[in-house]
């Protein structure tokens, strides 16, 4: 029993250490042009209403990172002249804007499109990632429109919030995994000390 208890305690400690760089940064209303949770139906934006935003700086060196953008009514199609909303981000190491891809199709619902950010983006995440949307990039008149609720950076296994407009915890940058697992780590240390005395 003592060996099993010690193994569980060590596993909890290792799990806590694995998530020490887990963080989430959320940009949403009242940042300009992200929808108001109450009146979002009136806040569609078209081809000539592109904009950029900046995430809060996330300290540390993650092992994985991603950018997820919650959008409503993306009429995207790979095989037609549908809506093509291009997401790009500023890479500090090359001092250039890089195309990450397009928002995925999610007609009449709020849904996340997730872009994986490899290690070449970690310096940009540390500085506060700058993101840009080119709305309905293939048209020069009001054909397709979109609303954005949230732009979310997650690192090292952090979970995503609800994609719908709403309130997020403050501050928007927090160490999610470490905070969740602190009680387990403290308990593990107590168990190990108790077993050593026994």
Q: What is the mean pLDDT of residues 78-93?
A: 88
Q: Which of 29-33, 50-54, 77-81 has the highest mean pLDDT?
A: 50-54
pTM more than 0.85: no
Give the model's pLDDT for residue 197.
54
**What would the pLDDT profile of 109-156 be if each residue is shown by its tens digit?**
899 999 999 999 999 999 999 999 999 999 999 999 999 999 999 999
Full DSSP string of the chain: -HHHHHHHHHHHHHHHHHTTT-EEEEEETTSTTSPPSSSGGG--B-TT--EEEEPPP--S--S-EEEEEEEEEE---TTSS----EEEEEETTTTEEEEEEEPPPEEEEEEEEEEEE-GGGHHHHHH--EEEEETTTT-SSS---BEEEEEEEEETTPPP--SSS----SSSSB-HHHHHHHHHHHHHHHHHHHHHH-
The model's confidence at residue 193, banded by pLDDT at 50, 70 and 90, is low
Q: What is the mean pLDDT of residues 70-79?
A: 83
């Amino acid at each position: 029993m003592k060996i099993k208890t010690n193994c569980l305690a060590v596993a909890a400690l290792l799990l806590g250490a694995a998530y020490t760089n887990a963080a989430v940064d959320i940009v949403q209303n009242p940042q300009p042009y992200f929808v108001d949770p109450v009146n979002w139906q009136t806040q569609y934006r078209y081809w000539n209403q592109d904009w950029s935003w900046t995430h809060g700086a996330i300290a540390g060196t993650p092992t994985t990172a991603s950018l997820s953008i919650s959008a409503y009514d993306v009429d995207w199609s790979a095989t037609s002249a549908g809506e093509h909303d291009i997401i790009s981000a500023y890479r500090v190491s090359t001092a250039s804007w890089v195309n990450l891809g397009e928002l995925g199709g999610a007609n009449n619902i709020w849904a996340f499109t997730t872009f994986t950010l490899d290690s070449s983006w970690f310096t940009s995440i540390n500085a506060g990632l700058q993101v840009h949307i080119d709305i309905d990039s293939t048209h020069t008149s009001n054909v397709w429109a979109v609303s954005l609720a949230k732009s979310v950076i997650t690192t090292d296994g952090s979970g995503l919030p609800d994609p719908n407009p709403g309130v997020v915890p403050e501050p928007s940058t927090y160490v999610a995994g470490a905070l969740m697992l602190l009680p387990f780590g403290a308990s593990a240390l107590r168990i190990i000390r108790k077993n050593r005395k026994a």
